[in-house]
Structure 1
Amino acid sequence: MGQTGNIVELQQVGKKYSEIRALQSLDLYLKAGEVFGLFGHNGAGKTTIIKLILGLIGASSGRISVFGKDPAQQGGVNFEVNWDSYRRMSASMLNLRVWKSWNILLS
């Protein structure tokens, strides 16, 4: 976490795919424990935002920080998601782990 207390920071983030501008000048700040939702029409950039935060794609411009690190850089951010509470509420036994290398393992 940075000095701001934010665990996720997107500052003036932009993303272009060839000549298509998917995001322009996005600012987003999330503190620990906050919950947010993304709403918008098809093509509004919802999936692009999530991919940027996870480091699955890099930004064309701006700065992204997750737990004080750039998620697009090798070894940037570690995530281990525990789905125990989800399994208690659902018949699904999906266990998702996202590691440093950003490989997605289903077990």
Structure 2
Amino acid sequence: MADVSGVDHDVCGMSVAIDVVGGKWKLHLMWVLGAGPRRFGQIHRALTGVSEKVLTENLRQLEAAGVVHREVYPEIPPRVEYALTALGEDLARALRPLEEWGDRHRAHLMSVAC
């Protein structure tokens, strides 16, 4: 049974998690937003190589999944900030061991890739 986000909740939890963070940029976005709320330009500068279009799509997908909150401040010009929700913070905590594993094994992984 799929909901409006397209996630099939009758599959294992790993499939649900991969649906949320899968793709080239979402894990990176989680990492950037894990440091605190950021404006679009700040995120874009932190993620070298991502286009504005792809960044916007990924932020919208993470927002639809409930892990990112988009706050629009009623100012002129409008200011928009993105931050992790409580669910996003929970996911970020779950992803930290993966980052730590990568840090520990970086040298090995780089030697294999060369």
| TM-score, normalised by the number of residues in structure 2 | 0.30
| TM-score, normalised by the number of residues in structure 1 | 0.31
**Larger strand percent:** 1
**Larger helix percent:** 2
